[in-house]
Amino acid sequence: MHPQQASDPPLCRGMLQGRAITWVDSGPREGPCVVMVHGLPGSHRDFRWLAPPLERAGLRVIRLDMPGFGGTEPISPRLSALAEHVLDRLDHLEIERAVLVGHSLGGPQALIAASRDRDRVRGLALISSVGLRPHRGFRAMRGLPPAVNRGLRAPILRRPLMRIVAAGFRRAGFPARTSDRDIRRSLEVVAAVDFRLIENAVAALLAPTLLVNCDDDPLVEPAIGLELGRACPSGPRLRFDDGGHNPQKSQACEIAEVLEPWVRECLLAGDDRPRPVCK
């Protein structure tokens, strides 16, 4: 289930290394900090249902717009660059310790960042995350993103090709309102995915991990989550019969009930603030 009301605080805007960035920051500023990294295509709004019970329990919840999405200007689509961007955002916000939460293709970005800053990232939660090998949604593309990206750069092909690509995104379950800009950026990031890099990051990871997966996920099949969970450091493992690819929306309260005390265990051992409540 999810709360009766979503969390939609005012958008924060800033500059980082000469580029515009956007994010939202909710909950008490002094609370244990959770930084959330969305998937593709997406934005900070992907966590608007998971945030409320965490905020009510006293956690600070920071939800990033990643490069190329929302009001954040694009950088290189490579996972390595995106992971470094996550760490740069922690610097920008002066976050000394945090738990990272990554959804879908935001999972590898958060995972690689966690493997590179072991002192500051004290925990890693992966929700319907991309894993160590291509999942069914990735395999369905059959290597198309590089070719499609080349086609979209050709003026004569751009418009008809984008109509075809947008229809494919809708068939995969993405909202019809997804913009052409977000689709193009998603294809750029997908084309740059490096599973060897993900594998190496898992091998270097020390932070405890929480994994969430759904048996009916149409994009990331359960086997991918099970393999990733076995390879990652120990921590809670949540598996739902249903919830699709976005349990942070459909199972927000159930996830928050486990995530909130686990965040405190990672960051503030012994703290006994109240547990999340969904109303």
Query: Which ranges of the chain would DSSP assign to H, the alpha helix?
Result: 51-56, 79-92, 106-116, 136-141, 144-152, 155-171, 180-191, 195-204, 222-231, 247-250, 252-267
Helix axes 144-152, 180-191, angle to 10 degrees: 130
Neighbours of 39 (CB within 10 A): 28
226 band by pLDDT with thresholds 50, 70 and 90? very high
* pLDDT at residue 153 is higher than 90: no
Architecture (CATH level 2) of domain 12-137+194-267 = 3-Layer(aba) Sandwich (3.40)
pLDDT at 33: 98
Class of residue 221 by CB neighbours under 10 A (exposed 0-12, middle 13-18, buried 19+): middle
271 band by pLDDT with thresholds 50, 70 and 90? very low
pLDDT at 269: 55
Residue position matching structure tokens 């909710």: 26
Q: Which residue has the higher pLDDT, 152 or 102?
A: 102
Per-residue pLDDT reduced to its tens digit, 39-63: 999 999 999 999 999 999 999 999 9
Rounded to 5 degrees, φ, ψ at 245 are -90, -5
pLDDT at 270: 43
* Rounded percentage of the chain residues whose pLDDT exceeds 90: 76
* Integer Cα distance of 126 and 228 in angstroms: 10
* pLDDT at residue 143 is higher than 90: no
Report, as an integer, the average pLDDT of 236-255.
96
Per-residue pLDDT reduced to its tens digit, 85-119: 999 999 999 999 999 999 999 999 999 999 999 99
pLDDT at 142: 65
For the entire predicted model, the pTM comes to: 0.92
pLDDT at 250: 94
pLDDT at 62: 98
* Integer Cα distance of 96 and 34 in angstroms: 11
Q: Length of the chain in residues, anyone?
A: 279
Q: Could you tell me the CA-to-CA distances from 181 to 68, 70, 166, 167, 177 in Å, in that order?
A: 8, 10, 11, 14, 11
